[in-house]
Amino acid sequence: MSPSTRFTNETGVAVPLICGAMFPCSNPELVAAVSEAGGMGIIQPLSLTYVHKHPFKDGMKLIRSITKKPVGLNVLTEKSLSVVYRKRMEEYVDLALEDGVRFFVTALGNPRWVVERVEKHGGRVYHDVVARKWAEKARDGGVHGLIGVNSRAGGHAGPTSPEKLLEELEPLGLPVVCAGGVGDAATFARMLALGYDAVQMGTRFIATTECTAHADYKQAILDAKEDDIVLTMRVTGVPLAVIKTPLVEKIGTKAGPLARFLLQGRKTKHWVRAWYSLISAYRLKGATLKSSQDLWQAGRSVAGIHSVQPAAEVVRACAEAAA
Ligand SMILES: Cc1cc2nc3c(=O)[nH]c(=O)nc-3n(C[C@H](O)[C@H](O)[C@H](O)COP(=O)(O)O)c2cc1C
């Protein structure tokens, strides 16, 4: 039995382990496998519909054919996203609520509209934050929990170590989830012992049998050492953790001079991010499914990942270590 925490009490899952949303790696079979094993799989709606080609309702049906246990939905609330995109996100949230989804992970913006919709159904919204300043804003927006994205995370990494970030976020009184750098069961147990209410893992779940990412990507995760993870500004306009491959070395990790200038403006930074996100969505999709485009997101958690395993094995090992 793994320990109960505020997160498990609020969400009804057995193990305080979240398989974080991953564009483009969150295929429905992976999300469902983690939930069925007792963790919380998070649906990334763009990954589900655009990369894995399941219209949202069909994707939900596929997940429900594998598990009836709780799953969550990732909602990107970044300001730079278009009106059309915002409308679509609202539809996804409503469809998920209709399906019984009660856990939502918001990222990159003001989560208030999601909280307002979800609270009517007794659901819970946890927000991704990299520093206390954003956590305070999210708390003021009504969120029920915080996901502390640290400097070791895959995807958009923060500037602070897992230990320091917990010190910053704990006094706010909300449940805090550790996101970043956890690739093995011993580190999972250590983060719970430190005081985190749950752990969100991404990279570890790419190297699972249920994840449909290309075998070369999985192998690159197994081969990578901590120092092979670099932060690049060239993909989305905010630091993104990727494996240092010849392609990454060729395109460099710093934003170009014009983008750097525009990223300093309060308004213009949103344009740059929207532009980067548009081109990177296509590029990252190719990198997941084809081996030739080696732009592979991963966190420093690669240090603890040594084999491709079924997702249920990962969840079981974590539950045992924490017990
Ligand atoms: C390939 C990849 C894609 C990701 N995409 C998203 C995303 O679309 N939305 C999101 O909120 N977080 C995203 N993340 C962050 C993860 O949900 C999670 O917080 C992170 O992977 C934890 O760090 P770890 O990889 O060291 O376990 C992504 C991470 C990875 C590795």
pLDDT at 196: 98
pLDDT at 272: 56
Q: Would you say the CB of residue 202 lies under 6 angstroms from ligand 1?
A: yes
pLDDT at 237: 72
pLDDT at 295: 82
CA distance 259 to 271: 10
Q: Would you say the CB of residue 153 lies under 6 angstroms from ligand 1?
A: yes
Q: How far is the CA of 25 from the centre of ligand 1 (A)?
A: 9
**Residue whose CA is closest, atom 19 of ligand 1?**
179
CA distance 165 to 148: 7
Ligand 1 probe mutation, 17, 22, 177, most atoms within 8 A of CB: 22
**Residue whose CA is closest, atom 7 of ligand 1?**
22
pLDDT at 192: 98
Q: Would you say the CB of residue 187 lies under 6 angstroms from ligand 1?
A: no
Q: Burial code of 204-232, b = ≥16 C-beta within 10 A, e = fewer?
A: bbbbbebbbbbeebbebbeebeeebbeeb
178-212 pLDDT per residue, tens: 999 999 999 999 999 999 999 999 999 999 999 99
CA distance 48 to 59: 7
Amino acid letter, 225:
K
Q: Would you say the CB of residue 106 lies under 6 angstroms from ligand 1?
A: no
pLDDT at 20: 97
State which residues of the chain have pLDDT below 70.
1, 78-82, 255-293
Here the tokens at position 22 are 């991953």
For the CA of 204, the closest atom of ligand 1 is 27
For the CA of 299, the closest atom of ligand 1 is 26
The pTM (predicted TM-score) of the whole model is: 0.92
For the CA of 21, the closest atom of ligand 1 is 17
